[in-house]
Structure 1
Amino acid sequence: MISLWNGSIVLISSLFIFNVFLYYYELEQKNCRNDACINLTNEIFNSIDYSVNPCDDFYQFVCGNWIRHVQIPSELDLIDPMVIVKLNVEQQLGYVLDNSWDIQQNQINRKIIKSNSLAVEWAVKLYQLCKNTPPPKYSKSFEKKFYEKWSKLELPNELNWPIVKKRDRKLLNQYFDDNWIEIYAIFYYEFGFGPIFEFEVSEIEWDRDSVIFCFNRFILETSNDQQRFNDRPKELLKIIKTFYPSINISDEVIYQAIMEVIQMEKSILSAINDEIDDTELYRIQLKNLYNRTEPGNMTKFLNKLTLYSQQIKTNISTQQWTDEDFVAMEYSLEKLLPKTADECFEIMYDDKYELQFALARIWIDEWLKIGSKLKTIEMINYLKQAAIQSIKTNKWLDKQTKNRVIDKIRAIVDDVAFPEWILMDDELDAYFGMFGLLKYQIPDNYFDAFIQMKQLITTEILLRTKERSSWKFAVRSPLIVNAAYINLKNMIHIAASILNSPIFDPELPFYINYGIFGYVIAHEITHSLDENGMTYNKVGFKTEWWTNKSITKFENLTECFIHLYDEHNDQWKKLYNSYRTLGENIADNGGIRIAYQAYRLRYKRLKYFGQNAKLLPNLSTNFTIDQLFFISYARLFCRKETKNHEKLTAEYDYHSPNKYRVNIVLGNFEIFSKIFNCSRKSKLNFNQRCIMW
């Protein structure tokens, strides 16, 4: 009898142990155990301030401990997830470039650089040449090489400027004539850059079938416009004296010419500031380029430069530029040549750098996680579905406008991560005009290598623009951390670099990615329907396509959002302006609703196939996946900043302060209150809510 009893105990104990084992085994199978999940779990645990009621201040609840312990980098005014991504990308690219050259073998390090592209080789070699030029002799050696090359050019004996019209010449007319065109064309061909302006190819979004030529101003390296103009006369006089040491013209006359240059720069800056729009380009005909320039000067310059460039490529078109051709002008600061070796990375990590897409290829090969692009495309599809469902259930749009809005959302172009041709060596080289140019050996000094690279790029620009040839437009760099909606293309642009922790990680559970990055994309989708987006149709043309009835209702709803943010503006009573932030506030509120609905669609699809969402280890007992979605959203806005920067954001930024972007947005979202069981008296369970999308 005792033996039977003991056997029963053993059996019961075994069954109990087995069930406990089965429970933990199944729990283990449900948990995400990769490094990304483990790291995120620790980050969330260390960020949350459990002393705060999430229904009263969700921003402080999610970000409190993180803000308390994180340090702002000494060179910055703030730190937040977007800044962290940018710093990560810079560090990652810097690591690859620093280790891209095998010093012992004096060649590319194939353990790091996977691509055989000639453009990639140029980028690596230029960085190494720049970085390894001895700093003490750097500036002098560069100036010496520049002067040697300059002194060998066959130039007219007289100094020439393109600035003044004949009626303004007076004393200048005996010295300054049309020979400037010859000087400038020779200069640009020989050096690959110019002393007055820079130019590059860019797609003119508002004139797709015509102009693809863009001027970029090359100006002094200072951030203050007035200071730049004050320093400009001395700088130009120094240049003239340096490179025309034997010039037989008085300083007084030269100074008059210099002041003409200053006035030209001011008039250009003024014109562009007056005309600048979403394209950030100023459209102008060649005959009207510069209001103080001789008519036809720029046309002559382009034709002269084309003629010189035929020495590099014989297939350059002989078709002439005319005064009627349109170009676009863009005002930009651009640092071309480093003063020290430390500036080499700063120059290359810039969206204006000529070999930006070669650098993007290097970074993508080494750092972009597998599946990042595909999972982002999948996310966009779910977000579009959610946005369309939201429009279908919308109660204030009339039927005609509603159908057109749905058509526009379906037509949104997804520009995700990078163009596929970046991954193909031949295509990448063709983009830079380097395909088939293996005969060009990369020089062994930075000066000659830099100039030769600029010459090749300039020649390719001229070939593309005048021929109107079919080539790959790539307006935005994959390396510049950004996500944006472009009205003129009805396009969502998502740079490869933003697909980086802590904004996105393909190895994390989908509800985490939807909470933070799904919101980012949904926010941009709603911009296609804001007060500016509603003026552009599904193919990006500016036209009236909403009915007056729907426009009126839209405007009435905007008043609701203005009152909502004014009512809950508890920190910046005098500085914060809800009219200024209206467009971004509507996008914030619409973005979180669309992102949540997309996440639920994705979850429903998962359950349909009998699968479960992977859980974050140790967090699943504290929070549901719905709650983690909202925690993920709030983490995007965790920010520590200086008091001065915080004040400037409240007073001038078109986005609301980050605390408002969490608390007001979620207080306005009834599902948040339900998921966190917020009582009716909770601060984030608003009695009056505003719903646009």
Structure 2
Amino acid sequence: MADRSARPSTDEESAPLLRDPELEEADQQHSSGPSFSQRVNSVSQEPLTPLTKILLVIALVLLLLSSVFIGLFAGAQHKLSLERHRHDGEKPPSGTLTVTATSTSVSTSTATSTSVSTTTLPAPIPVPTSPPEEKACLDSHCIVLSASILSSLDTSQDPCENFYDFANGGWLKAHPLPADKSSYGNFEVLAQQNKQVIQKILESESSVASFSTSYDKEILQKLRDFYSSCLDEDNLDDIGDVPLQEFVGKLKRLFRGEEADLVKRYGRDGGEVNGLTAALAFLHSRGIDSLFSFDIEGDVGVDPNHMVLWFSQPSFGLPSKEYFEEQSIRKAYKNVVERLLLLFIDDDEEYAALARSTVLTDNKEATIWPPWPWPPWGGDDGDDDGGDNKKHLNKSERAHKLAKKVVKFERQLAQASLDLDILYQDPIATYNPVPLSNLTNSIPQIHFPTYFSTFTPRTFPDQVIMTYPAYAESLSKILNKTSSDVIEGYLITRAAISLSPYLGMNTEAWQVQRTLSETLTGIKKGAVGDRGEYCIGQVEETLGFAAGRYFVNETFGGDSREKGTKVITDIVDAFKASLPHIDWMDKKSAKAAAQKADAIRIKVGYPLSPDTRDPRSIARYYSPVKVNKAKFFDNILSSATSDKYKQWLQLGRQRDMDSWEMYPSMVNAYFNPPSNEIVFPAGILQPPFFAEQWPAYLSYGAFGHVAAHELTHAFDSAGRLYNQEGKLEQWWTNSTSEGFKEKQDCIVKQFSAYSIDDGKGGKVYVNGNLTSGENIGDTGLIQAYRAWRAQYHTSLSSGNEYLLPGLNFTREQLFFISFARIWARAMKPAAAVQRIRTDPHSPSRFRVDGTVSNIPEFAKAFKCSKKAKLNPPVEKQCIFWS
């Protein structure tokens, strides 16, 4: 058997490396050879052969090279170890490393000598034994996640100059904007995936086999019938525009006082018919804004949880007042209004029969509707009919004339409305509580007691909060100088634009409103997306809490809720820890801010009212919604009416603390100032925002930013004006408020300097005032970073900071990359312009680059030079939270 005993190491061998052949032969002749010292002495006295000299020189060179390489290796290991510990936030171990190299030197004499040189290097570990490298996770989910991150990057970009492009360039190249969409990003990608989950549930019996209660069967049947009514395009085409014609016909009869039973319900004032009141109540009860809007929300000046009436301006046919001042857009809108009016105004014979009708509003200047001879005006906006006012115009000519008047009327309403930056950002300016009589006296054309009776509120309001009292006064003046036919035309147009999307696509009305959408958003003409995706979207919007029950069951199991909540609470803790170090906040205000942060209600996953876990609760919530498998248009109206009446039933009551404003599958989150709560639906707690098994540095970078953003809203330009109970109050000291305003002015100036291409060769600048609250919310990213660092060591020891294969980035860098990736978005120029004018959020590029440029930790993580674009001097940074 072969000898398997352990061999001595080479360090223990006594044989010399080189031996003289003649001496070796002599040794073999003696049974007992000389000692080692004798042999060395003998060698030293013997003359060296040429071969021996050459071999000794080679040995010397090799030993010298070995000594040098050992020293270099030890230094490199030390440097790598220091770098690794620095990135992981650990202290490098103290101590030194001693590397001993043995070299043999040869002199010109026949003697050789051995010298020992010692090099002392600082090092955390002994060498030549190197530390085991931290291995990356090679599980399938780690490989897929790593591939997703790598594919989203464009490493040709400098992260210190264009971080948005660096983090998202690959994604943008791989995801060209779909023709049927004006905007497409990771939010939309995830929303599509969530819709597919719901679609699978509605189309498959087996997917919900575990739900066997009678209530679940009722809910699922309602969901499936609604979905089927939307999918049945053949039926929609067969029906045509009949549902909208019937709706508009009812609206006109109400306005004209022609249908007694409807008038009794919507608009009787004493014994007189008030057609405008009746028509408005009818539209508003179906969720269609016109002339003004009412909301039921807490009284933030007295009791934020006591639900009261708020009066505000409506939405308009164009997204904002700026559009009404653009001639090309106004012309396109006028054409849309004209085509819709042509569909819904009376034929010539019916029109002539109405010539002797009485006025339907309290307008003193127009006592007969419609006035006759027709039209009652001369030329309008340079368009004269030749002065022949008695000329009888046909239907198309009347529609053309009336459309101009309607657009002019709506333009006046838009000009009288409050600018959006004040409406969204100044809760003090928009809180104007007054007796109800102030409103009724301001707009005498509307009989408000009759209007309110339509919604049967439990408590009749005696007070109203007006966001902009001047609008009510302007509205009355505009109504007084506008003829009834124009007001009716405006109401018809509002109804048609709002409801025509629910008709078949072959109808004229659907195609007309689609033309307007294409003009405003830049969607490719005629490009229509997947019908199933659209219909699931309608299911979510109308029966979202019902669909959410089954979505949550499919996607939000395990520890997702607990882990998502932990990210949020860690960020709250990090925020409170930062308060004593904020240079513009004094101790008194910092203490109050910490108390408000502690008081914030955190809601994650799904609501409890209606209770997602209880099918009976959901069935009751949607019991007023009537669904017919063959009537999609009616189903939409039924749902809208139910929602509006639910809203009005809250008037005079205390806030339902378990209710949500978003359904569970929504890819979004929100902060509600009056109730001081932050809400995160299960829909956003999915990749690329969050996953239960993700390493923490990714979760805190992506979902952590969403959470920190919503938390920071409690302390932004508007949120800071509400105390911990949701009440408007000056709860910061004056000095702290002044310090905040300086920071706010900084960020307003920063973002106002950003601009986008309008698609026409010009630039449109970001409205820094409109976006200041959201931009300040984005500064919360630093709190997410601090929260991640605070839990890092515990997380690392638990295996929750594992590395991913193929990613040559530090954990700090991946934190910021994870943040930037969620904002990847492609957008049509027209849609980008609309967003800048109407959206309080900045464009995605600036949400990324503008945010990290104010966070020194970003520049440190990517080793940005002091001259880098995203590493400006400290005096030019808008740093809020340190």
**TM-score, normalization by structure 2:** 0.58
d(CA) in 1 for partners of 2:832, 2:259: 56
d(CA) in 1 for partners of 2:355, 2:444: 23
Letter of the 2:784 counterpart: A
CA spacing shift, 1:320–1:203, aligned 2, 3 Å: closer
d(CA) in 1 for partners of 2:836, 2:250: 52
Correspondence for 2:273 among 178, 185, 195: 178
Following superposition of structure 1 onto structure 2, how do residues 52-451 of structure 1 map, counting pairs within 5 Å?
Answer: 52-97=157-202, 99=203, 110-111=208-209, 116-117=215-216, 118-132=218-232, 134-139=235-240, 142=243, 156=259, 177-178=272-273, 180=275, 202-204=296-298, 206=300, 208-211=305-308, 241=346, 248-250=353-355, 253-255=368-370, 273=418, 276-277=423-424, 288=439, 292-294=443-445, 297-303=447-453, 306=456, 321=460, 324=462, 326=464, 334-335=498-499, 338-340=502-504, 346=534, 349=537, 353-368=541-556, 370-420=558-608, 421-433=611-623, 446=632
Q: Residues 182 and 828 of structure 2 are in contact (CA less than 8 Å); yes or no, is this contact kept in structure 1?
A: yes
Letter of the 2:723 counterpart: N
**Over alpha carbons, which structure has the higher Rg?**
2
d(CA) in 2 for partners of 1:24, 1:649: 53
Q: Deviations over 1:233-279 (max 9, x none)?
A: 9867965749x979953288443599999999778766664794468
CA spacing shift, 1:363–1:157, aligned 2, 3 Å: same
d(CA) in 1 for partners of 2:683, 2:163: 29
Correspondence for 2:152 among 47, 71, 87: 47
Q: Residues 41 and 619 of structure 1 are in contact (CA less than 8 Å); yes or no, is this contact kept in structure 2?
A: yes
CA drift at 1:217: 6.9
SS at structure 1 position matched to 2:240: helix
CA spacing shift, 1:87–1:178, aligned 2, 3 Å: same
d(CA) in 1 for partners of 2:464, 2:200: 42
CA drift at 1:388: 0.7
Letter of the 1:514 counterpart: Y
CA drift at 1:304: 6.0
SS at structure 2 position matched to 1:494: strand
Q: Residues 201 and 214 of structure 1 are in contact (CA less than 8 Å); yes or no, is this contact kept in structure 2?
A: yes
SS at structure 1 position matched to 2:670: strand
d(CA) in 2 for partners of 1:121, 1:686: 58
Letter of the 2:190 counterpart: V
d(CA) in 1 for partners of 2:435, 2:412: 16
Q: Residues 484 and 494 of structure 1 are in contact (CA less than 8 Å); yes or no, is this contact kept in structure 2?
A: yes
Q: Residues 634 and 662 of structure 1 are in contact (CA less than 8 Å); yes or no, is this contact kept in structure 2?
A: yes
- Mean Cα deviation higher: 61-70 or 139-148: 139-148
- Aligned partner of 1:671 in structure 2 is 857
- Aligned partner of 1:20 in structure 2 is none
Q: Does 1:594 align with 2:783?
A: yes
CA drift at 1:389: 0.8
- Aligned partner of 1:314 in structure 2 is none
Q: Does 1:618 align with 2:805?
A: yes
SS at structure 1 position matched to 2:503: coil
Q: How well do the aligned residues superpose, as a CA RMSD in angstroms?
A: 5.6
d(CA) in 1 for partners of 2:829, 2:291: 39
Letter of the 2:503 counterpart: K
CA drift at 1:398: 1.4
CA drift at 1:378: 1.1
CA spacing shift, 1:320–1:683, aligned 2, 3 Å: closer
CA spacing shift, 1:8–1:430, aligned 2, 3 Å: farther
d(CA) in 2 for partners of 1:653, 1:433: 35
Correspondence for 2:676 among 465, 468, 490: 490
Q: Deviations over 1:409-437 (max 9, x none)?
A: 22222233321312211111233355xx9
Q: Residues 81 and 637 of structure 1 are in contact (CA less than 8 Å); yes or no, is this contact kept in structure 2?
A: yes
SS at structure 2 position matched to 1:485: strand
CA drift at 1:72: 1.5
d(CA) in 2 for partners of 1:147, 1:542: 42
Please list every run of 5 or more consecutive structure 2 residues that lacks an aligned counterpart in the other structure. Answer: 10-129, 325-329, 358-367, 373-401, 469-493, 506-529
SS at structure 1 position matched to 2:678: strand
- Aligned partner of 1:521 in structure 2 is 707
CA spacing shift, 1:374–1:355, aligned 2, 3 Å: same
Letter of the 1:300 counterpart: T
- Mean Cα deviation higher: 355-364 or 566-575: 566-575
CA drift at 1:680: 5.4
SS at structure 2 position matched to 1:364: helix
CA drift at 1:3: 2.3
- Mean Cα deviation higher: 225-234 or 47-56: 225-234
Q: Deviations over 1:528-550 (max 9, x none)?
A: 22333322222222221222222
Q: Residues 266 and 278 of structure 2 are in contact (CA less than 8 Å); yes or no, is this contact kept in structure 1?
A: no
**TM-score, normalization by structure 1:** 0.72
Q: Residues 67 and 638 of structure 1 are in contact (CA less than 8 Å); yes or no, is this contact kept in structure 2?
A: yes
Paired-residue identity, %: 22
d(CA) in 2 for partners of 1:615, 1:603: 11
d(CA) in 2 for partners of 1:567, 1:149: 50
- Mean Cα deviation higher: 523-532 or 224-233: 224-233
CA spacing shift, 1:603–1:255, aligned 2, 3 Å: farther
Q: Residues 155 and 183 of structure 1 are in contact (CA less than 8 Å); yes or no, is this contact kept in structure 2?
A: no
CA drift at 1:464: 5.2
Q: Deviations over 1:403-461 (max 9, x none)?
A: 11111222222233321312211111233355xx9xx9967655676666667667666
d(CA) in 1 for partners of 2:444, 2:559: 53
- Aligned partner of 2:139 in structure 1 is 33
- Aligned partner of 1:18 in structure 2 is none
CA spacing shift, 1:509–1:194, aligned 2, 3 Å: closer
CA spacing shift, 1:221–1:335, aligned 2, 3 Å: farther
